[in-house]
Amino acid sequence: MKWPIRTLSILGLIGALIVGYHWASCPRTPEALFKARCSACHELRTERLCEFPATQRPTIVDTMRRLHEAAEVIDEEEAVIIRRYLEESLVCH
Ligand code: HEC
C-alpha cells in the first residue's frame, strides 16, 4: 500500500510531538528528579531534610524506599542520583 505524502507528514509530526513531549516532561537534572520523585506522596520536605547533617540525608532516600514503598516511584538508578544530590547540592536557607 502506498501512503500519500500528506498522511506521512502528519504521522511524522505527531510522532515528533509525542517524543518532544516525553523529552520535555522527563526530569533531567538531579534537582528536578528530587523535586519530581520526592513530592509524589507528600509535599517536598526540604526544611526537614535540612535539619539532618548532609552526610545523613542520603539514608532518608533508602528509608523512603524500604519502609514507605517509595521504591515503586524511585528506581535504584534514580535513588543514586537523588542521594548524591541531597548530600552534595541541596540548598538550605
Ligand atoms: C511512596 C511514597 C513516598 C515517596 C515517593 C517518598 N516518601 Fe517520604 N514519606 C512517606 C511516608 C508514608 C512518610 C511517613 C508519613 C509522613 O511523614 O507523612 C514519609 C516521611 C518523610 C519524611 C519525614 C521523616 C521525619 O522523620 O520527619 C521526610 C523528610 C521524607 N519523607 C522525605 C522524602 C524524600 C527526600 C523523598 C524522595 C527520596 C521521599 N520522602 C519520597 C512516603 C513517601
Residue 62 lies in a domain: yes
Residue 13 lies in a domain: no
The pLDDT of residue 3: 82
pLDDT 10s digits, 12-71: 999 899 888 888 878 889 999 999 999 999 999 999 999 999 999 999 999 999 999 999
Distance (Å, whole) CA 90 – CA 44 = 12
Tally of domains within the chain: 1
Distance (Å, whole) CA 33 – CA 37 = 6
Expressed as residue numbers, the domain containing 80 is: 28-88
User: What is the signed CA dihedral for 22, 24, 28, 34, rounded to 10 degrees?
Assistant: -90
Q: Ligand 1 — pocket residues by CB below 6 A?
A: 37-38, 40-42, 45, 48-49, 60-61, 64, 68-70, 73-74, 82
Residue 23 lies in a domain: no
> pTM, whole model, 2 decimals?
0.84
Residue 6 lies in a domain: no
Task: Provide CB contacts within 8 A for 81, sequence distance 6+.
Answer: 30, 33
Confidence of residue 2 (pLDDT cuts 50, 70, 90): confident
Residue 33 lies in a domain: yes
Grid cell locating 91: 540548598
Atom of ligand 1 nearest to the CA of 52: 29
**Residue showing cell 517536598:** 44
The pLDDT of residue 71: 97
